[in-house]
């Protein structure tokens, strides 16, 4: 059994004796590594000051003023083989609206590939992320969501980031509790798609894209990512564009990718709403009439259906308001060994989920079917698709994943309560000022513990409601 499973189960058994025995079918579940002592990440900058971590806002990003600063990263208070000592790296603050919060998330880019605290089977990468989790007072939304994601999408072979709680020090100053996660990127062991060869541009390669309300702003940044727009027929409300997160060598590739995504959506929409069936020509540039009369068969030719079902299920559970806004990742691999299908993976950004945001707190209503995400809404009315969702729900229910998620919340809270308290002392304005986006109950919380209790209650109600819907 993987060491991380043993660590999590040991902590859970110690604190909650029923955690490991709730389901005999759960022995293959994924668990984060939990240790009694929280690891420490230390950043030392060349100039010796903390300006990079506190001075910038979203406006500075839009003006292209946020640059990496040189420094080094160390990791301690962990197992000896996981420790790092003064590894050269560059660091900067990251995010969009979260840049306006006092405690900011941080991007680390090592000079050489490094593994971090055994995450993702100890694989080494240059890029890592420290999430501040400022909006979520419980600091447990993302860990709960990623546990669900790993055991829903990850179990089916789709990429989800690993994570570890850490305490961050910058130039010797305590900076609080952060969640160390992986950078969302196309890389072996992360999003597994063919990579573009710079000396041989080829449109039949792998692409990682993000549905992103900030796409125009991202394109305007110095060295910004390529972007494109696609009109999604039948979607009410404002629509946004896509940001390309993998290598694009020339404008012809970008134009090809835009056409590809437009035609995939057109194929699905025509099958669902018009009973018309299409497939791609050999070059994936045009649609041709298909003999299929089954909507499921037609859609399954262009979309990786298990990934779509898993993504729908995850977002229906957690009620993520950002679902139709940004951080919604898709990939497609047209290389020789690629699946040639649009795939939904790399779930991300959960600090507004689990009923904490005003207007989204009702745990007893269907959410993802009506959210502003065209890929999920398109199929929510299809009986065959919802039958697949119900079947997948029964599978994760049989594995004890709902109970395990609730138990994990309790385990993390109990294990790291002193660290969470220290974080609250470092950032008292989080409690004193609240957050205008959140529900009144959470803005009235006086501690991280109260917010964690809310998460546990809300998610318990959510599981009960969905189980009644998906019998």
- Report the predicted TM-score, pTM, of the whole model to 2 decimal places: 0.93
- Contacting residues for 205 by C-beta, under 8 A, at least 6 apart: 193, 194, 195, 196, 333, 334, 335
Among 129-133, 159-163, 361-365, the least confident range = 361-365
Pairing mode, if any, of strands 328-333 and 287-289? unpaired
CA distances from 439 to 102, 223, 316, 355 (A): 20, 38, 20, 8
Give the pLDDT score at 222: 87
Q: Report the C-alpha gap between 81 and 115 in whole angstroms.
A: 10
Pairing mode, if any, of strands 206-212 and 40-45? unpaired
pLDDT tens digits for range 7-40: 444 444 444 433 333 333 345 899 999 999 999 9
Among 2-11, 207-216, 284-293, 452-461, the least confident range = 2-11
Q: Report the C-alpha gap between 139 and 417 in whole angstroms.
A: 11
pLDDT over 80 (residue 301): yes
pLDDT tens digits for range 157-188: 999 999 999 999 999 999 999 999 999 999 99
Residue pair 262/290 in contact by the 8 Å Cβ criterion? no
pLDDT tens digits for range 265-276: 999 999 999 999
Give the pLDDT score at 200: 64
Pairing mode, if any, of strands 40-45 and 163-170? parallel
In what helix (H) or strand (E) does residue 177 lie, and over which residues does it extend? strand 173-182
> Taking all residues of the chain, what is their mean pLDDT, rounded to a whole number?
92
Pairing mode, if any, of strands 241-244 and 206-212? antiparallel
Q: Per-residue confidence at 235, pLDDT binned at 50, 70, 90?
A: confident
Give the pLDDT score at 15: 43
Q: Residue 128's closest CA among 156, 157, 166?
A: 166
Q: Which percentage of the chain shows pLDDT scores above 70?
A: 93
Give the pLDDT score at 292: 84
Q: Report the C-alpha gap between 64 and 80 in whole angstroms.
A: 40
Q: Residue 99's closest CA among 45, 165, 54, 41?
A: 54
Q: What is the mean pLDDT of residues 75-85?
A: 97
pLDDT over 50 (residue 353): yes
Which tops the pLDDT comparison, 250 or 15? 250
pLDDT over 90 (residue 4): no
């Amino acid at each position: 059994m993987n060491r991380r499973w043993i660590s999590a189960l040991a902590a859970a058994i110690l604190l909650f004796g029923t955690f490991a025995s709730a389901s005999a079918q759960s022995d293959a579940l994924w668990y984060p590594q939990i240790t009694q002592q929280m690891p420490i990440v230390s950043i030392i900058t060349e100039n010796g000051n903390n300006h990079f971590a506190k001075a910038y806002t979203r406006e500075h990003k839009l003006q292209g003023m946020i640059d990496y600063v040189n420094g080094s990263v160390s990791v301690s208070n962990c197992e000896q083989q996981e420790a790092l000592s003064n590894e050269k790296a560059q660091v900067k603050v990251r995010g969009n609206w979260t840049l306006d919060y006092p405690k900011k998330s941080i991007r680390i880019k090592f000079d050489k590939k490094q593994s971090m605290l055994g995450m993702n089977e100890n694989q080494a990468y240059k890029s890592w992320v420290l999430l501040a989790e400022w909006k979520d007072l419980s600091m447990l939304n993302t860990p709960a969501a990623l546990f669900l994601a790993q055991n829903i999408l990850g179990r089916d072979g789709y990429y989800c980031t690993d994570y570890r709680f850490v305490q961050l020090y910058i130039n010797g100053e305590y900076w609080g509790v952060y969640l160390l996660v992986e950078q969302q990127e196309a890389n072996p062991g992360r999003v597994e798609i063919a990579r573009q060869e710079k000396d041989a541009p080829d449109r039949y390669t792998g692409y990682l894209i993000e549905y992103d309300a900030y796409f125009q702003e991202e394109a305007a940044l110095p060295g910004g990512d390529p972007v494109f727009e696609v009109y999604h027929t039948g979607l009410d409300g404002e629509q946004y564009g896509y940001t390309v997160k993998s290598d694009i060598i020339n404008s012809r590739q970008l134009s090809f990718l835009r056409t590809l995504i437009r035609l995939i959506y057109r194929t699905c929409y025509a099958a669902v709403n018009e009973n018309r069936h299409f497939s791609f020509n050999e070059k994936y540039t045009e649609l041709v009439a298909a003999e299929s009369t089954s909507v499921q068969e037609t859609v399954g030719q262009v979309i990786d259906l298990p990934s779509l079902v898993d993504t729908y299920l995850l977002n229906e559970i957690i009620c993520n308001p950002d679902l139709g806004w940004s951080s919604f990742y898709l990939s497609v691999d047209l290389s020789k060994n690629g699946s040639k299908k649009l795939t939904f993976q790399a779930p991300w950004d959960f600090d507004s989920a689990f009923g904490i945001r005003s207007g989204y707190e009702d745990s007893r209503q269907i959410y993802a079917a009506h959210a502003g995400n065209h890929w999920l809404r398109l199929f929510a009315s299809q009986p065959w698709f919802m039958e697949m969702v119900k079947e997948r729900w029964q599978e994760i229910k049989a594995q004890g994943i709902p109970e395990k998620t609730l138990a994990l919340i309790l385990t993390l809270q109990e294990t790291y309560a002193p660290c969470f308290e220290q974080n609250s002392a470092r950032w008292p304005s989080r409690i004193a000022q609240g957050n205008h986006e959140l529900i009144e109950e959470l803005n009235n919380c006086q501690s991280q513990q109260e917010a964690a209790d809310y998460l546990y209650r809300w998610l318990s109600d959510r599981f009960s409601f969905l189980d009644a819907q998906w019998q």
